Structure 1
Amino acid sequence: MPTPLIWLALDGVGHPADAPPGSSGEADGPWETGLPTLRPFVDAGLALDATLGVEGLPQSATGQTCWLTGQDGVAAMHGHFGPQPGPTLRRMLDEASLPVGLTRTGRQAALLNFYPPGYFAAQHERPRHGCFPYSFLAAGLPLCPPGLPLLSPTLGLGYRAPWNATDGLDDWRRRGEEVAAVRGYDLLVFDAWFSDLLGHEGRSVPPPGLHLAAGAYLRRLDALLEGLLGAGAAVVLSSDHGNFEDLNVKSHTTARVPFAASGVSLRLPDGRPPTDVLEGGRVLQNLFGL
């Protein structure tokens, strides 16, 4: 049975090399948290441009479309667009997203996110799926697939301030080991969007507890990654745009984004390393021969 590639698709996390130092009474920014697995993993990878040379702040829908399809969602929209994909981007995802391509070629993919009942109720009233759930649905694949170790995108933190944790780091290491033990799939994706939500809480004077929550989030991601790598999983980590790395602003940023991997090569078909999120998406397509 195939051993899956695990894709940790971060949302709104700029590369630590482009993160400003902490301020407003905080000694350090989120990336300065003790991250014995995650930080070396990211530092050993690449820092990719998310602007694609287009004016304005990168957005989730166009950035994630680039990652999922290897096609230029920013050019298709004549600029950055988000957060959810509209008709133009949905057509691109329908035709060329990784879940669709894998399904067409007889391979198996799954989205590991846990969605509560309220999500489905809200979508029934007004469908506004992000690019990742939309792509899996477009491929005829279910959300909350049965029989898989599903992951909460909050990584065990409360959804709203003060973002208190409901579990511990050992729980997330075990979840990483459980995901690494899955067989019968070619690709498993975790759409880790809570980092973008935390990033949008940023202010010139960040709200109380935000830096602690951001550090706790990264430590849980670190534990998840430790569990995955310790169990021998092949892992790819990416991000669509900057935001969370700078908690002194509410908006997205033009920071470069991380692209790192273990167990697979991050090279384009001609052997070059990618330089931006569009080329990063082409690397992912190439890994599966799409």
Structure 2
Amino acid sequence: MKMIFIFIDGFGIGKPDASVNPLVNPELVNINYILNDAGAIPTDACLDVPGLPQSATGQTAIFTGQNASKVLSRHLHGQPTITLKKMIADGNLFKELVNRGFAVTNSNVYRTPYIDRIKDPKERKYRPSVTTVMTLSCGLNLRTVEEYIAGEGVYHDITGEILKNEGYVKELITPQEAAQRLYSLSRKYDFTLFEYFKTDIMGHKAEMDTAIENLKILDAFIGELLKLYDENGEIIFITSDHGNIEDLTVNTHTFNKVPTVILGKIPKNVEIKINSLTDIMPAILNIFDAKGEL
């Protein structure tokens, strides 16, 4: 079995009102499918801690199975602190899968100057994200622009627009081509991670037209993956760390639950119980630990 894990930042379950929630736009057929028809599980991101859910603690909860917000007694935005980094290094999804003998990879591509800066212990402005800390803590390399040019990785904006604007590449790729890259790469691994965080950026901008324009790219990307994967032997797992883009009446995160979507056949002897972000990692490990028929 192979699993593609798509982490979508700031992607909550909002009201079915297209005037405030761009996710319900009828043009976004694949996003509407995963939210409404694919058995999306409403997942708590508040974690019994007051205040708006935030990225650093939410993502740490997803990828460690621990309530990072309770550990800090608050929700933390941005990148993980020393305390969260230690939590991630001590036990994370990548490490647990590797220890079980599975091959894992982070498909996201990083620019070389960024890699150099986040590895510099004296650097204070640029700090690694949760998924970056997880990748490095397992001794895995971060994917480079050279690998992107060779088709061995996907940039976080899907089309590579940032890479083109900064002169790293000459042409954009289509969302469909990005999905094909991700799927092809996933053939070499048991678990493949892709992180998309423009949804959170668009949520903070709170501009409906801009949000829909970007969501169309994500929608086409997801649609192509749905065409490529084999639902009888592969799983696409989608979730988020907190709400944001589903309510453009505010430019902050929301208290809304996030969707956890599991596409494909779960092994028959596995019972999925997901109530909060801390349940996601155990659910994935249960799937990989399962013995028996699909």
**How would you bin the TM-score normalised by the shorter chain?**
0.7 to 0.9
Would the alpha carbon gap of residues 148 and 100 (structure 1) be closer, same or farther in structure 2, given more than 3 Å must change? Answer: farther
Would the alpha carbon gap of residues 36 and 230 (structure 1) be closer, same or farther in structure 2, given more than 3 Å must change? Answer: same
- Counterpart of 2:201 in structure 1 is 197
Distance 1:92 1:131 in 2: 10
Q: Is the 8 A contact 1:268 1:279 kept in 2?
A: no
Q: Output one character per residue of 1:40-73: Cα deviation in whole Å (capped at 9) or x when no partner.
A: 1122211111112221011111111111111221
- Counterpart of 1:162 in structure 2 is none
Q: Is the 8 A contact 1:60 1:84 kept in 2?
A: yes
- Does residue 221 (structure 1) correspond to residue 214 (structure 2)? The answer is no
Distance 1:78 1:253 in 2: 19
- Does residue 49 (structure 1) correspond to residue 48 (structure 2)? The answer is no
Paired amino acid for 1:31: L
Aligned length: 266
Q: Output one character per residue of 1:108-148: Cα deviation in whole Å (capped at 9) or x when no partner.
A: 11111122234224423335111011100101111116466
Distance 1:213 1:4 in 2: 34
Q: Is the 8 A contact 1:268 1:274 kept in 2?
A: no
**TM-score of the pair, normalised by structure 2:** 0.81
Distance 2:176 2:88 in 1: 32
- Counterpart of 2:110 in structure 1 is 115
Paired amino acid for 2:33: P
Shift of 1:286: 2.1
Q: Output one character per residue of 1:212-239: Cα deviation in whole Å (capped at 9) or x when no partner.
A: 2211222211111121121125211100
Q: Summarize the alignment of residues 69-218 of structure 1 with structure 2, pairs less than 5 Å apart.
A: 69-123=64-118, 124=120, 125-126=123-124, 128-144=127-143, 146=147, 149-156=152-159, 167=172, 171-182=174-185, 183-202=187-206, 210-218=207-215
Secondary structure at 2:192's aligned position in 1? strand
Secondary structure at 1:216's aligned position in 2? helix
Would the alpha carbon gap of residues 197 and 118 (structure 1) be closer, same or farther in structure 2, given more than 3 Å must change? Answer: farther
Distance 2:116 2:91 in 1: 28
Shift of 1:245: 1.3
- Counterpart of 1:286 in structure 2 is 286
- Does residue 232 (structure 1) correspond to residue 235 (structure 2)? The answer is no
Shift of 1:88: 1.7
Shift of 1:80: 1.3
CA RMSD, Structure 1 to Structure 2 (Å): 2.6
Paired amino acid for 1:144: R
**Unmatched segments (≥5 aa) in structure 1:** 160-165, 203-209
Shift of 1:258: 0.8
Secondary structure at 1:258's aligned position in 2? strand
Shift of 1:173: 1.6
Would the alpha carbon gap of residues 29 and 176 (structure 1) be closer, same or farther in structure 2, given more than 3 Å must change? Answer: same
Distance 1:266 1:70 in 2: 21
**Unmatched segments (≥5 aa) in structure 2:** 163-170
Q: Is the 8 A contact 2:20 2:248 kept in 1?
A: no
Secondary structure at 2:56's aligned position in 1? helix
Question: Identity over the aligned pairs, expressed in percent?
Answer: 28
Q: Output one character per residue of 1:163-183: Cα deviation in whole Å (capped at 9) or x when no partner.
A: xxx857xx2123213322332
- Counterpart of 2:167 in structure 1 is none
Q: Output one character per residue of 1:181-235: Cα deviation in whole Å (capped at 9) or x when no partner.
A: 3322011111111211221223xxxxxxx32221122221111112112112521
Distance 2:50 2:217 in 1: 34
- Counterpart of 1:21 in structure 2 is 17
**TM-score of the pair, normalised by structure 1:** 0.82
Distance 1:263 1:151 in 2: 23
